[in-house]
Chains A and B, each alone.
Chain A
Amino acid sequence: DTGVSQDPRHKITKRGQNVTFRCDPISEHNRLYWYRQTLGQGPEFLTYFQNEAQLEKSRLLSDRFSAERPKGSFSTLEIQRTEQGDSAMYLCASSPLLGDSANYGYTFGSGTRLTVV
């Protein structure tokens, strides 16, 4: 297992276009998180899954954002009708079961950098 993988690493898109990112977590990790990071800021929580269930969504996740984890393995994050304010690094992280997460920490992917022009 090579850790958390994210694809693509970089995405440049025109305003108004839709984009989709993929995250492959560590295979035995049940929990998967999406974060957004803008320049000079820490990661901001967007949403998380436990297996295939999306258990919590941040207020940052507007109606244009949707995330799925259909089989409890990989996840996708889609942004519809992109805006320039969506430009950021989108990070995915995974962790083991509830209760172990606090002790184990979280494994992050390298992120997808989105630039909306």
Chain B
Amino acid sequence: GDSVTQMEGPVTLSEEAFLTINCTYTATGYPSLFWYVQYPGEGLQLLLKATKADDKGSNKGFEATYRKETTSFHLEKGSVQVSDSAVYFCALSRAGGSYIPTFGRGTSLIVHP
């Protein structure tokens, strides 16, 4: 079945450092890929998405490129801020799976001043 694998956290960085959170997926066909962010005590918010190979999703300085050849969708940001501290979830959604999203376990990001 479909699955999403994320790097384990927590990821701890200093402010203005470069961020990469790895995400790989297993799915048949051509899923859509998403990154969601969850701040403490809150629900998940859509951060960015990509719907086909080589698409790049971007939002708030975060980027991720849909790489079908490596089945990856790594999240990057050039300069993190303390306010980026949160848990980040990679997810996929596939037409054959009734579009029900499948989520990874999440990666906690802690940014220090």
Contacts and interface: CB of A to CB of B under 8 A. Distances in A.
Contacts of A109: 43
Interface size class of chain B, counting residues whose CB lies under 8 Å from the partner chain: 20 to 34
Contacts of A108: 36, 43-45
B43 A48 contact: no
Interface residues of A, number: 28
Interface in B57-113: 89, 91, 93-95, 98-106
Given A4-B43, A102-B32, A103-B32, A45 B100 contact: yes
A108 B34 CA distance: 13
A107 B42 CA distance: 12
B51 A102 contact: yes
7 contacts: A4-B43, A42-B103, A95-B99, A101-B93, A108-B43, A108-B44, A111-B43
Given A56-B98, A102-B94, A105-B34, 11 more contacts: A31-B99, A40-B106, A42-B104, A42-B106, A43-B89, A56-B100, A98-B98, A102-B95, A105-B46, A108-B43, A108-B44
